[in-house]
Structure formats: C-alpha cells, structure tokens
C-alpha cells in the first residue's frame, strides 16, 4: 500500500479527525499511487493516522477511517448500514425520500446517496468513490433488501475528475419488479412529487429543503406568493397546501417549469402560474407590493473561495430587489447553498440589502439543512445551507 508521509507538525488536523489531507502537508510519497487508490497516512514519527482515497488536487486524501476499518471487507456495509439506521431514527412521517449518505457527514467523503421510494441515486465526487461503486451497490442491496428496487449512478455531472473513466450515467442494479425508467413519485410530508433522476438537477430533487418547505406552508396562509428559482416547484406546492391565495413560480429552465406544472397538478392545485424567465429580472420588473411572500432560493453563487466576493454582491443585489418589492408586512425566505459562503457573511449581505432598500426588516428565524444532511462535527465545512426568514414592515 502507498504510504503518504507528512511534514513535521502537519498531523494536527488529522488528530482532530478532520477528513481531508491537503497536498501542502505532504513531505513525500512512498510508492506510486493511482488516483482513487486507498493509501495510508503516516506522521513524521511513523504513526499511521488513517486510510483514505488518494486524489490529484489540493485535497490529496479524503480520509475513510482513522483506524484500519477502511481495509475491512465489511467496511461499506457497516458505514451505509449506520447511515440507514440514523435515518430510521429520524422517524420521518409521511415521507419516503431522504438523503441516505451525506459525504463527510456520514464519514464517506465524496459520496452522496439519495433515496427515492425504492430507488437509490448515487453520486461520486471523487475517483475513489467512483471506483468503489460496485462495493457501494452491493452494500446498498444488503442493507435495504427487498425495499430496494434500483440503484442509479449519476456521477458524470458531479465528479470533478477526468482519469480516463467511463462517466456514463446508468443503473448499477435493477430488480425484476422495477418497471420505471428515470422517474418515480415520492411523498414528502404528505405531498407528492415526481422525481426524474436522469434529467433533473443534482439527484433529481432538493431534499435538503424539506423542513424549510414545511415552514413555508405554515406562513403562506392568505398570502400572494412569489417563488423565485422554483426548480420543480417544491416550495410552490407547500405554499399552495398552506392556503396561499396564489403562487407565481419562476425558473429559467423550461424542463424544470414543465416538471413543476406536473407536480402542481399531481397535488390538485389550480391557483398557480409558472413563468420560464430569469428570476432576478422577474422580481425587479414585478409591481411594487404585488407579493407579500417571497421565496428566494438561488443556485450556488460561489463554488470556490475565489468567487466569494462576487457571490456576496450577488446575494446583496438579489435580496435588495426582493426586500424592495415585497408588500408591507411581507415575509421573505432567503437562502444560500454556497458552501464557501458562511452564515455570518450571508447574513451581512442580506443586512446590506435591507439597509440599501431603506426598509425595516426583522429576522424571524435562521434556517439550515435537515438532519438527514448531517454535519460532521470535525468537518464544519459540511454546513453549506443557510437561510433567513425575514419580516419586512
């Protein structure tokens, strides 16, 4: 096995159980690892600090275990089984879709697995996880048994690597009873949604907003709602279920808008309009006070630290438009899913937007990701979703 030797004094983060080893901490490499190989990490004193997937880039090793567990034949079943038991303990009611594996949060860095009513959709974010997909598939079948109907690999659009691998999305497993192609109907808090894991963004649905959607339902009664960056209409369905007078949903993707209209119809709502337009232009051009509730849930404005400054300007401008246009006594749900933008910086951008708009704004609540998207306490970078509920006088 290849041994990664550290520079003197560079083992501290691993001793604190942080699951990333950066390339700058490496003194030398004993052996010639291929990207994706499992390697051992050796301190200056010769102590083995753990094992993980080797990769080319600033993150040189993603740690799988700080002991020899990663070398065990039962490793994948044990880790995926532990994640499964944690999700069962959440006792999600009237819900058959959730995140099963959340990367570092479940001590499987580089792996995402989402569960959609019998179908597991897998995304590998590292070569090591991509090369482990057969073992991951076998473990999923062992853990779920007859509940599992299919496993779909959707790594081609998310894996930040090109190591001559066949990055072709497709099924890793299908049982004899599985008749679907790329869609399934799931239930979340009693509401129904069509999920298309082949053509949809990410794995097909934004499961991380489940609890925040439920909050929208509670606040939507009697309000005219604008859902910006609406994707397939999750927030829209919840707002309609909560008794909104009407909901206008805006997204620039024609495919997303078509799926949103299907989801609204699936839940038998009619007081809804959809617009395939740029969301920022739409809110800027909307009449003053037309909406007294807005959901502002844009895609990540920054995917690396070099883009943070521009992202914060983008969040400020977007929230300025929303705060300026929402009616008196209006409520705004505003979010950032940019991992490199911390909650303090995001709140400061929203504060700046409120100051620029010259309106009195109160924070009613601070929002984050749900428990099936856990944050490893030793890896605070995993806390990527942050949001605010604003009341605008």
Which residues are catalytically annotated? 337
**Of 324, 341, 323, 321, which is closest to residue 332 (Cα–Cα)?**
323
Length of the chain: 393
**Of 116, 13, 131, 108, which is closest to residue 52 (Cα–Cα)?**
108
Are the C-beta atoms of 105 and 373 separated by less than 8 Å?
A: yes
Helix (H, G, I), strand (E, B) or coil at 62: strand
Q: Residue 294: which H helix or E strand, with range? A: strand 293-296
Residue 210: what are its φ and ψ, rounded to 5°?
Answer: -55, -50
Helix (H, G, I), strand (E, B) or coil at 382: helix
Distance between CA atoms of residues 81 and 74, nearest Å? 10
**Of 325, 341, 318, which is closest to residue 392 (Cα–Cα)?**
325
Query: How is the beta sheet containing 119-124 ordered, strand by strand?
Result: 97-102, 111-116, 119-124, 150-153, 170-174
Beta strands in 55-149 (DSSP E): 59-65, 97-102, 111-116, 119-124
Whether the CA torsion 320, 325, 326, 329 is positive or negative: it is: positive
Provide the terminal-to-terminal Cα distance of the chain, rounded to the nearest Å: 63
Cβ count within 10 A of residue 291 = 25
Whether the CA torsion 258, 264, 265, 271 is positive or negative: it is: negative
| Helix (H), strand (E) counts: the chain | 10, 20
Distance between CA atoms of residues 283 and 322, nearest Å? 7
Residue 172 class from Cβ within 10 Å (0-12 exposed, 13-18 middle, 19+ buried)?
Answer: middle
């Amino acid at each position: 096995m290849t041994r990664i030797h550290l520079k003197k004094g560079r083992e501290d983060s691993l001793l604190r159980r942080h699951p990333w080893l950066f390339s700058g901490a490496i003194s030398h490499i004993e052996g010639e690892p291929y990207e994706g190989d499992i390697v051992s990490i050796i301190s200056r004193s010769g102590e083995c600090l753990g094992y993980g997937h080797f990769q080319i880039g600033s993150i040189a090793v993603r740690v799988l275990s700080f002991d020899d567990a990663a070398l065990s034949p039962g490793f994948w079943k044990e880790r995926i089984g532990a994640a499964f038991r944690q999700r069962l303990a959440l006792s999600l009611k009237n819900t058959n879709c959730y995140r099963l594996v959340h990367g570092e949060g479940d001590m499987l860095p580089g792996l995402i697995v989402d569960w959609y009513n019998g179908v597991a959709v897998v995304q590998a974010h590292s070569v090591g996880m991509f090369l482990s997909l057969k073992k991951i598939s076998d473990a999923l079948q062992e853990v779920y048994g007859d509940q599992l109907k299919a496993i779909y690999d959707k790594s081609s659009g998310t894996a930040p690597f090109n190591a001559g691998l066949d990055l072709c999305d497709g099924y890793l497993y299908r049982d004899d009873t599985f008749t679907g192609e790329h869609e399934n109907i799931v239930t979340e808090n009693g509401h129904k949604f069509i999920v298309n894991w082949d053509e949809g963004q990410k794995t097909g649905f934004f499961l991380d907003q489940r609890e925040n959607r439920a909050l929208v339902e509670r606040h939507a009664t009697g309000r005219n709602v604008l859902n910006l960056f609406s994707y397939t209409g999750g927030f829209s369905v919840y707002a309609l279920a909560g008794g909104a007078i009407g909901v206008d949903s805006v997204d620039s993707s024609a495919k997303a808008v078509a799926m949103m209209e299907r989801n609204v119809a699936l839940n038998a709502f009619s007081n809804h309009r959809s617009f395939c337009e740029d969301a920022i232009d739409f809110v800027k051009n909307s009449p003053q006070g037309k909406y007294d509730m807005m959901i502002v849930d844009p895609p990540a404005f920054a995917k690396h630290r070099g883009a943070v400054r521009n992202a914060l300007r983008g969040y400020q401008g977007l929230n300025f438009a929303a705060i300026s246009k929402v009616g008196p006594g209006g409520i705004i749900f505003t979010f950032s899913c940019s991992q490199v933008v911390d909650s303090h910086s995001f709140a400061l951008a929203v504060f700046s937007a409120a100051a620029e708009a010259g309106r009195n704004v109160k924070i009613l609540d601070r929002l984050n990701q749900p428990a099936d998207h856990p944050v490893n306490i030793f890896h605070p970078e995993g806390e990527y979703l942050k949001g605010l509920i604003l009341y605008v006088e």
